[in-house]
Structure 1
């Protein structure tokens, strides 16, 4: 049965997924916001923007492996339970992220350093894909109905909070050691800090109980033989394809902030030094957390579908003005206006993510929920994960004269506009999920 009120177990589940998702984003931000530093450490000398794109591309290559992690651990989560899954994934995610700190540099081993970096990113991607496959259902299945929207926003906001925390930690290291020393050795310490949230999440998860919804699945003997494969069979296939379209647009939303706001702020015509650029970017990630929580809470009253469609329309309209404000204020060094622009980007791009944990949990039956949530979430990567190719291509062949040769503000705005179209259509062709029960009431006929 579904929980009717908050319990200690509900609190543990929510904190566990918040910290676990924080760790995923913490690692991501470490890569993207100090991409210029990593480029100098892991790659041969080349143009600053090209080197940064190389680091961002390496991340794109690794997130393509997230669906594999979602497939493996989502299927496992529907067969053995969410809790055991989460213990494995947080261990793998924390250790793999921290391993970045012991990489040899290009000066030591040549291009092998970058190859090892990409291999670590692949491992991180696999465990990250498993993290939300079991983690989102776990948190939502412990949450009472009337609080689903708000808690969904808080859980998803863990991603934005992790980005903000990473930006703050990087700022502290740059301030304490200086940019030169960060490039020489202190970048290793930055990645080593990923162990802290991993240890916290692991301690919480070891003390948790399995969700009552999954226990109900076991008691009713509804465990599926092949939950992942069932996603692609009738009548579930059309649901999965609708979610895939929607999530493709959502990934364009996400990386319009996380990948390219730091890039815009750190390259000319921006005049901000990297430390100041990271601070301005961090304001956007704080706002992203607030936006996700607000959006999730509002969806409990207005509905997930209606609110998202309206938001997508607004996003399409404001994308270009918003990114122009970011670039133009960075060009003249206007810290206040750049911060306002970063905050606007954070709210606009990350607000709709606030419903993802509950929306995806409501879209799939309990007996295939970890597979559906995990692989449905990751399916957006198949097309959305190549953002690091789309933006450079638009920049080089379509909008270079608008972007300026060394900045991608207009191409990023267009990426977000495409995302808004996909998100709007994806939600329009899907059902309203508000009010859906998370327990499964229909038994499966085993063939």
Structure 2
């Protein structure tokens, strides 16, 4: 499905170098997202064997936090490098780091060999891997956007962003197959390593593609290089753009954490559905959100990015909490499916235009720095929801607290769109 869509976008509408860069951005983001979701999905069934049966939840949290901290740092490191020496070369370095760290995790001995050293090794590798992950999308996505035709930039953005749900679904499907054909001992011993080996191979494959096929855009080549693009973004002339993007992206990330992991845990606690039913429902919602994500990216070309985010944020602030609360009052499984699908459509589909909007907010000289930091730094506060959601639930109620945060997320997205200018979506990037 993604193959056909990307071919439709690029066939006979762009020069060869542009088509290659766009395909690299689309499938490179798949590799990036595949690696991000690996520990969450593939390690969970083998966690007790790998890390020991004690404190499994906190151990999983450490791995998540390590990646979380690595990504903004990677954006801050690689963004200025991409702005100064080129996006194609920076992407290649980042892909090498992703491939090697993912491969090393596949080779880590279990708890019976290293004891607590297994957890420490995985955490360290995920932190380093997070740095390279932050570098990959900081360089590859702006590169793809710079090569894109203005009239196709929104759609290309949507197709890049929709790779996140497809990567999530791919890993879930692979782990499901492995658990179906292997017994517990086999999965604990080597089955969980298979997705990591595949992730490393995918990264090496994209590295070969970028080395042989993808070149820097004329837009970057012709831009005046800045001595310290990160400084220009944080405290220089582009600081207002950064913090406006930070506001908007914080809303989108808050939407994500409430509509996916929080919803999943609440469905499990609700007890009306078994694990298989929940997996099926989330699979349907993921597929729907992917399609709508691509559509939203293209829609923003006609509405304007600013107007899109204002409208999407306001719509999400109204519909997302209603859909979430409706999930837990629905009288049938089919009703739950419809409401979960609706929830994901009015929350995570908003990522569709992000790739186009963020590159349009920053000029070529600081584009990777602005894109990477704005996208990555905004992850942190929403991702800390395990610390502030429980007190809110004690105060407001389990489901009501989540509904309130969904309202807040929509308001942040709308405010972020409102506080920024309408970007130039009809002309070539500068």
**TM-score of the alignment, normalized to the shorter chain, above 0.5:** yes
| Map of 1:9 onto structure 2 | 17
Greater displacement, 264-273 / 15-24? 264-273
User: Quick one: structure 1 residues 411 and 131, their matched pair in 2 at CA, closer, same or farther if it must change by over 3 Å?
Assistant: farther
Give the counterpart of 1:248 among 250, 257, 264. Answer: 250
Measure how far apart 1:258 and its partner are.
4.3
Greater displacement, 384-393 / 225-234? 384-393
| Map of 1:303 onto structure 2 | 304
1:351-392 C-alpha deviation (Å, 9 max, x unpaired): 111111110100001111111111111120242332343334
| Map of 2:361 onto structure 1 | 363
Unaligned runs of 5+ in 2: 1-9
How do 1:44-83 residues align onto structure 2 when only pairs under 5 Å count?
44-45=52-53, 51-52=56-57, 54-56=59-61, 58-83=63-88
| Map of 2:372 onto structure 1 | 374
Paired residue secondary structure (2:192): helix
User: Quick one: structure 1 residues 247 and 38, their matched pair in 2 at CA, closer, same or farther if it must change by over 3 Å?
Assistant: farther
How do 1:8-407 residues align onto structure 2 when only pairs under 5 Å count?
8-33=16-41, 36-45=44-53, 51-52=56-57, 54-56=59-61, 58-178=63-183, 181-183=186-188, 185-206=190-211, 207-217=213-223, 222-267=224-269, 269-273=271-275, 275-327=276-328, 335-395=333-393, 397-399=394-396, 402-403=397-398
Greater displacement, 353-362 / 339-348? 339-348
Measure how far apart 1:202 and its partner are.
1.7
Unaligned runs of 5+ in 1: 404-408, 441-447
TM-score, L = length of structure 2 = 0.88
Measure how far apart 1:13 and its partner are.
1.3
| Map of 2:425 onto structure 1 | 435
User: Quick one: structure 1 residues 213 and 417, their matched pair in 2 at CA, closer, same or farther if it must change by over 3 Å?
Assistant: same
Give the counterpart of 1:419 among 405, 409, 414. Answer: 409
TM-score, L = length of structure 1 = 0.85
CA contact (8 A) 1:10 1:143 kept: yes
- What is the distance in 1 between the residues matched to 2:107 and 2:90? 27
CA contact (8 A) 1:75 1:226 kept: yes
CA RMSD in angstroms, aligned pairs only: 2.7
Measure how far apart 1:261 and its partner are.
4.0
Greater displacement, 431-440 / 86-95? 431-440
CA contact (8 A) 2:66 2:124 kept: no
- What is the distance in 2 between the residues matched to 1:36 and 1:327? 26
CA contact (8 A) 1:36 1:51 kept: no
- 4+ runs deviating over 6 angstroms: none
CA contact (8 A) 2:46 2:187 kept: no
- What is the distance in 2 between the residues matched to 1:63 and 1:153? 23
User: Quick one: structure 1 residues 326 and 102, their matched pair in 2 at CA, closer, same or farther if it must change by over 3 Å?
Assistant: farther
- What is the distance in 2 between the residues matched to 1:63 and 1:87? 22
- What is the distance in 2 between the residues matched to 1:60 and 1:341? 30
Greater displacement, 207-216 / 281-290? 281-290
Measure how far apart 1:59 and its partner are.
0.9
- What is the distance in 2 between the residues matched to 1:438 and 1:97? 37
Measure how far apart 1:89 and its partner are.
1.0
Measure how far apart 1:54 and its partner are.
4.7
- What is the distance in 2 between the residues matched to 1:104 and 1:139? 38
1:390-413 C-alpha deviation (Å, 9 max, x unpaired): 334434x435xx43xxxxx55544
Measure how far apart 1:316 and its partner are.
1.6
